[in-house]
A and B are shown apart, each in its own frame.
Chain A
Amino acid sequence: EAAVTQSPRNKVTVTGGNVTLSCRQTNSHNYMYWYRQDTGHGLRLIHYSYGAGNLQIGDVPDGYKATRTTQEDFFLLLELASPSQTSLYFCASSAGQKNTGQLYFGEGSKLTVL
Chain B
Amino acid sequence: AQKVTQTQTSISVMEKTTVTMDCVYETQDSSYFLFWYKQTASGEIVFLIRQDSYKKENATVGHYSLNFQKPKSSIGLIITATQIEDSAVYFCAMRENNYAQGLTFGLGTRVSVFP
Contacts and interface: CB of A to CB of B under 8 A. Distances in A.
Interface of A: 31, 33, 35, 40-43, 45, 48, 50, 56, 58, 88, 90, 92, 94, 96-97, 100-105, 107-108
Contacts of A56: 100-101
19 contacts: A42-B106, A42-B108, A43-B91, A50-B100, A56-B101, A58-B102, A96-B99, A97-B99, A100-B50, A100-B52, A100-B99, A101-B95, A101-B103, A102-B47, A102-B50, A103-B102, A103-B103, A105-B46, A108-B43
A42 B94 CA distance: 14
Given A100-B33, A103-B47, A104-B47, A48 B105 contact: no
Interface residues of B, number: 22
